[in-house]
Amino acid sequence: MSSRFFLGLASLLFLASLAIGGQERAVIEGRVFDKETRSPLPAYISLPELGRGVSAGPDGRFRIALENRPTPGARVKVVAWLIGFKKIEVEALPGEPLSLALELEPLPAREIVVSADSGLGEDKPQAAVTLDRMDVYRMPGTAADPLYASHVLPGVNSPPDASSLLIRGGAPDETAYHFDGVEIIHPFLSQSLHESYFSIFDNQVVEDFNVSTSGFSPKFGDALSGVMDITAKDALFKGEGGLGLSVFGLNSYLGTPLAGGATLIGSLNFGRSELLSVLNGDDGQSFATGNSFGKLVIPVGRAHTVRLMGLYDRYRFSQEDGFRAGSENGFAALSLTSTPSSTFLARLLLSRTFYGASYRQEGVFDTTLSDRAWQGRLEAVLDLDRHFLEAGVDVMSRGQNVSWDAETEDDELVRAGRRAVYVSDKFRALDKLYVTAGLRLSSLSLGRPGWKTDPRVSLAYLLTKKDTLRISTGVHSQYGDHFTLAQDGSLRPRSAYHASLSYDRSTDDASLRLTAYGKEYRSLFLEDETGAGWNNGGRGFARGVEIFIKRRGRKFDVLGVYNSLSSKRMEGDVSVLAPSPYEISHSLTAIVTLKGSRSSLGVRYSYATGRPYTPLEERVWDETGEFYRPLWGEPYSSRYPSYRRCDINGTWNLTLGRRMVILYFGVTNLFNARNILRYEYSADYSVRNNSASIFGRSLFLGLYFPFF
Amino acid sequence: MNSRSASLFFPFLVAAAVLAATPGLRPEPQTDSRIPDQTAKIAQARDKIQEGWNAWNEEAMKAGRDRLLSLLLEDKGINARQNTYLYYYAGLGEYRLAVHAFASGLADEAASNIARAKKYLEKLFELQPGWGEPYALYAALLGYEIALNPDRGMELGMKTFSHFGRAESAEPRNPRVFLLKGLSLLYWPAEYGGGPDNALVVLARAEALFENDESDDPLKPSWGLEECLTFMARAHVQKGEKEKAMDCLKRASIANPDYGLARQELLALQKDQ
């Protein structure tokens, strides 16, 4: 009996264990992860039919016990969702481990950078190469100038000396500059025959900028190689400012909200070179600068905003030998922006830009230039989530005047009107494929009459949320020098056909971009064989590859850029396809910035292959004119020595009383490398002088008091 | 107008016609009457998060957050205004879980909570751009992000200022905007405008604004007075003003008798005396 009892008890226990085991299996459990990266996701898992749900843990695992045992074989509906990912629904058998892969939600069209733009911004657009604001301040050798800072972006081949941007082998004048929508024709503080130094843009008032090296938006035109688009700070919700004192001078900035939601932004800077010269042992020349910027943002009702802006920049330069140069540069602008809904924006911008420069050598020359323009721009933006539509009209009336010598010769005057219309649609063709297609039509009152049509298409394919492949192609036209166009009424605008392929990998702390591109130049201005006129027979190309790497660590940041370029041009008085004077075959920049809690130290090394120049073969005596004539070699068949420079800078944040003070220093060209920019010859061509970079070893010191 | 100048405008007119023919714009959030049942469910979930916050109970906060997510996922009978509150409270829930994880030394979990909270709030920026409070919550999250990544202090610090400024500009009489700003200021260095003195000024303003923080809307946020008083107490403690601190903590305990942090800090101060 006892054995029967124990057998019965054992059977009961066995059956009970089966039942309990069965209840234990009545669960929905599994793991949820990112379909692309396979990393676990803390998604919310819901059983809508049973009214149950739970968030997965940090390891992506979840387990929901079912209150009632479902019918054997019956499936349960499971929904998984996490913000930013697509919701998925599956049917599951209780007890069967689930693997749920969530896919990213497609991003709205506006959130994707379709062309391979690079720039500065607080927010990193999806998979784009960006510098943040601190990068610009910490970067050695840039003097916190946005133009100098942009030299480290991929596709910009400029050596660190000159401000002008050589984009993918293009000439300096092939880049357009826009500041808050105003086209700035002369963006440089100091502009001379060969080089331009520093920009008129004060980094204190710059909100962000981007540099487009190909496939740029049809809203930008009259540029063959690239566009730098700078946006000034705008509506502020809290006051901010700063006061800086350095061996060069004083700089100040104030941004403050006003009553009624208005904002005032202003900056005022003065600089003189004397103290800098004493510190660095330079003499024989001096310069002074003054720069001011003001912007008033006034909301009118809920849907409209009026903006008034003005920028004025002054530069004076003098040498002991009597040479004097000076310039005045700036603009005034008024804009009205209307946003009747959160998806539609229209903006009207009217502006007046002015530039005047003078170059004088007592008794030798007295040249003055003036360049003034009226601009009007009307643009509309419609955001339909899947489509991001832009259209607009821009017109410009520009007058230029050159007086070679006020006393002896007549002025040269040229006036021109430029008109353009554009339309562009950035749209999501597929979940992961974004397309920008656009068209720009433009005409100029000089040269051959008619409209020039520039179609442009760019594609961005999101391979993963961190990897993007971009292809851009398009036609870009530029009218070129107005004096040349005025000479010959049959000249067409110059054209460049761009094609580029980029791969971007962008994570929270690192960016990589690899690019291959080709640019074919057509209709470049070529001197007639007689030398008396011009034609559109010029052509050329620029082809290359670029590598950009940036990594941000807790203790240090690293940035590296390498550009390789091959470029030839037949242009101007060069009637054969010769190496381009802007061909820097290889350029490399490496920057390491060490970061402490209250200090930073940056080291930058720049290397660039020397640019091509036309060598002097020999000089021959001209019996009739009784002077030496140069006999030049093959055009651009020699190269200047390569360029090398090492810069360092550092900051140290101190607390004085309860205020923060930033002490900063910079050493430009630490090893005092003598970089040759060009050769100049004596009047009889017997002596060749090396014209070296103005950036010898120099020390810069300053203090900055930020206000929050 | 001659034909040449007329041709100038033709492409623009075509573009304008295309724009005019495009489908209607996204509707603005509706303000019509709510379905009471869903309102009650949102309120229950919100209260569950508050219950967890009062008791420093992670599981309760998670349960409240999960109820909100369940409603977001259901998307049935939820109108646009309720939808904005769902995102708001989901963001607040993640914020509080982030604070809990941060205080517990779980940096990865805190970062994950912060990332999710930011996404909910970013969604709110789109849904209701004129609402200031989400910007303040976002700014407070950035403060925690700086604590997790000190090397990004300068970059995120400026963004924090900007978001608090935006919140204040949009809602100058919202006490939680000033509460969140005051909490952040308490832990910022004095040279950045932080420290106990500056924090107290802002928290006192928040406290004053809480007096008029009443609404007929059952879903409108109404939390924060007890936190405001508790953190005023902390600021006073930092300044060595224990009596003032105890007074604040007593008032915090009256404002919300369930709020554990106020009781705990009051006990600690009493013990010290």
Kindly list the averaged pLDDT for each block of 10 residues, start to end, along chain A of length 708.
51 46 69 91 91 89 82 85 92 91 84 73 60 75 82 82 84 93 91 76 88 87 93 88 92 92 94 86 84 96 93 93 92 96 92 95 88 97 92 97 74 94 94 93 95 94 89 95 91 95 89 94 92 91 95 89 96 95 94 89 94 94 90 95 94 85 92 90 91 85 87
Cβ atoms of residues A396 and A366 within 8 Å = no
- A609-630 as b/e, with b when 16 or more CB fall inside 10 Å? bbbbbbeeeeeeeeeeeeebee
CB-based contact B116 A42, cutoff 8 Å: yes
Geometric angle at alpha carbon A264, from A262 and A265, rounded to 5°? 140
Report the distance separating Cα A101 and Cα A87, nearest Å: 10
> Cα A672 to chain center, whole Å?
29
CB-based contact A595 B22, cutoff 8 Å: no
pLDDT given at position A140: 86
- Name every chain B residue with its beta carbon within 8 A of the beta carbon of A236: 162, 165
CB-based contact A391 B19, cutoff 8 Å: yes
Same domain membership, residue A384 and residue A439: yes
pLDDT tens digit sequence for A159-209: 767 777 889 999 989 999 999 999 999 998 877 766 777 889 988 899 888
Average pLDDT over residues B177-188: 94
Does residue A6 belong to any structural domain of this protein?
Answer: no
Find the closest chain A residue to B153 by CA distance.
Answer: A597
Global confidence as pTM: 0.83
Dihedral in degrees, nearest 10, Cα atoms A131, A132, A133, A137? -60
CATH number at residue A268: 2.40.170.20
> Cα A400 to chain center, whole Å?
29
Q: Reduced to 3 states, what is the DSSP secondary structure of residue A238? A: coil
Mutant choice from A46, A89, A107, A238 vs B, greatest count of B C-beta within 10 A = A238
Within a 10 A sphere around the Cβ of A346, how many other Cβ atoms? Answer: 18
| Domain end among A64, A81, A102 | A102
ipTM over 0.85? The verdict is no
* DSSP E strand stretches across A404-555: 412-428, 433-444, 452-462, 467-478, 494-506, 510-527, 534-552
Does residue A14 belong to any structural domain of this protein?
Answer: no
Range of the domain at A46: 23-102
Nearest in space to A251 (alpha carbons), one of A310, A217, A292, A213: A292
pLDDT given at position A125: 55
Same domain membership, residue A438 and residue A362: yes
Report the distance separating Cα A706 and Cα A187, nearest Å: 27
Give the torsion sign (CA, A548, A552, A553, A555). positive
pLDDT given at position A117: 73
Report the distance separating Cα A306 and Cα A41, nearest Å: 45
Q: Which residues pair with A643 in a beta bridge?
A: A608
> Cα A54 to chain center, whole Å?
45
Same domain membership, residue A186 and residue A85: no
Does residue A494 belong to any structural domain of this protein?
Answer: yes
Nearest in space to A652 (alpha carbons), one of A696, A703, A690: A703
Number of domains forming the structure of chain A: 3
Put simply, the chain B residues between 72 and 101 with a CB less than 8 A from any chain A CB are 72-74, 90
B63 in contact with chain A, both atoms CB, cutoff 8 A: no
Report the distance separating Cα B271 and Cα B268, nearest Å: 5
Query: Which residues, 6 or more positions from A246, have their beta carbon under 8 angstroms from its beta carbon?
Result: A700, A701, A702, A703
pLDDT tens digit sequence for B14-46: 444 433 333 333 333 333 444 568 899 999 999
Report the distance separating Cα A223 and Cα A480, nearest Å: 9
Using the 8-state DSSP alphabet, how is residue A85 labeled?
A: B
* Residue B254 reports pLDDT greater than 90: yes
Nearest in space to A561 (alpha carbons), one of A527, A515, A602: A515
Mutant choice from A421, A441, A594, A662 vs B, greatest count of B C-beta within 10 A = A421
DSSP one-letter string for chain B: --HHHHHHHHHHHHHHHHHHHSPPPPPPPP-SPPPHHHHHHHHHHHHHHHHHHHHT-HHHHHHHHHHHHHHHHH-SS--HHHHHHHHHHHHHHHHHHHHHHHHTT-HHHHHHHHHHHHHHHHHHHHH-TT--HHHHHHHHHHHHHHHH-GGGHHHHHHHHHHHHHHHHHH-TT-HHHHHHHHHHHHHS-GGGT-SHHHHHHHHHHHHHHHTT---S-TTS----HHHHHHHHHHHHHHTT-HHHHHHHHHHHHHH-TT-HHHHHHHHHHHHH-
Q: Å from A465 to nearest chain B CA?
A: 16
CB-based contact A421 B151, cutoff 8 Å: no
DSSP one-letter string for B5-17: HHHHHHHHHHHHH
Same domain membership, residue A40 and residue A180: no
Put simply, the chain B residues between 99 and 158 with a CB less than 8 A from any chain A CB are 108-109, 112, 116, 119-120, 123, 126, 129, 149-151, 154-155, 158
| Domain end among A169, A184, A212 | A212
Cβ atoms of residues A419 and B12 within 8 Å = no
Does residue A4 belong to any structural domain of this protein?
Answer: no
| Helix B80-103 vs helix B133-148: crossing angle, to nearest 10 | 20
Same domain membership, residue A464 and residue A613: yes
Same domain membership, residue A118 and residue A98: no
Report the distance separating Cα B134 and Cα B116, nearest Å: 14
Mutant choice from A658, A660, A661 vs B, greatest count of B C-beta within 10 A = A658
Whole-Å CA distances, A576 to A380, A540, A635: 45, 10, 8
Does residue A604 belong to any structural domain of this protein?
Answer: yes
Residue A386, sorted as left (phi over 0), alpha (psi -120 to 50) or beta, turns out to be: alpha
In terms of DSSP bridges, do strands A698-707 and A467-478 run parallel, antiparallel, or are they unpaired? unpaired
pLDDT tens digit sequence for A27-82: 899 999 998 888 999 999 999 888 888 999 889 999 998 877 667 778 899 999 99
B26 in contact with chain A, both atoms CB, cutoff 8 A: yes
Start-to-end C-alpha separation, chain B:
89
Same domain membership, residue A270 and residue A198: no
Report the distance separating Cα B169 and Cα B44, nearest Å: 31
Facing A382 at nearest CB: one of B19, B69, B193: B19
In terms of DSSP bridges, do strands A676-681 and A659-668 run parallel, antiparallel, or are they unpaired? unpaired
Same domain membership, residue A253 and residue A319: yes
Same domain membership, residue A678 and residue A611: yes
B195 in contact with chain A, both atoms CB, cutoff 8 A: yes
B99 backbone dihedrals φ, ψ, rounded to 5°: -60, -40
| Domain end among A50, A78, A102 | A102
Facing B66 at nearest CB: one of A53, A261, A451: A53
Report the distance separating Cα A78 and Cα A28, nearest Å: 9
Same domain membership, residue A189 and residue A147: yes
pLDDT given at position B9: 40
Cβ atoms of residues B209 and B224 within 8 Å = no
Mutant choice from B49, B70, B174 vs A, greatest count of A C-beta within 10 A = B70
- Name every chain B residue with its beta carbon within 8 A of the beta carbon of A237: 162, 164-169
pLDDT given at position A123: 60
Same domain membership, residue A565 and residue A530: yes
pLDDT given at position A122: 59
Start-to-end C-alpha separation, chain A:
91
Geometric angle at alpha carbon A273, from A272 and A277, rounded to 5°? 155
Whole-Å CA distances, A324 to A321, A359, A360, A540: 9, 6, 5, 37
- Name every chain B residue with its beta carbon within 8 A of the beta carbon of A660: 189, 191-192
Give the torsion sign (CA, A111, A116, A117, A118). positive
Q: Can you tell me which residue has the tokens 């070529």?
A: A526
Find the closest chain A residue to B22 by CA distance.
Answer: A384
Find the closest chain B residue to A379 by CA distance.
Answer: B12
Does residue A524 belong to any structural domain of this protein?
Answer: yes
Same domain membership, residue A184 and residue A159: yes
pLDDT tens digit sequence for B125-174: 988 888 999 999 999 999 999 999 887 777 788 889 889 988 998 899 99
CB-based contact B162 A555, cutoff 8 Å: no
CB-based contact A655 B22, cutoff 8 Å: no
CB-based contact B119 A84, cutoff 8 Å: yes
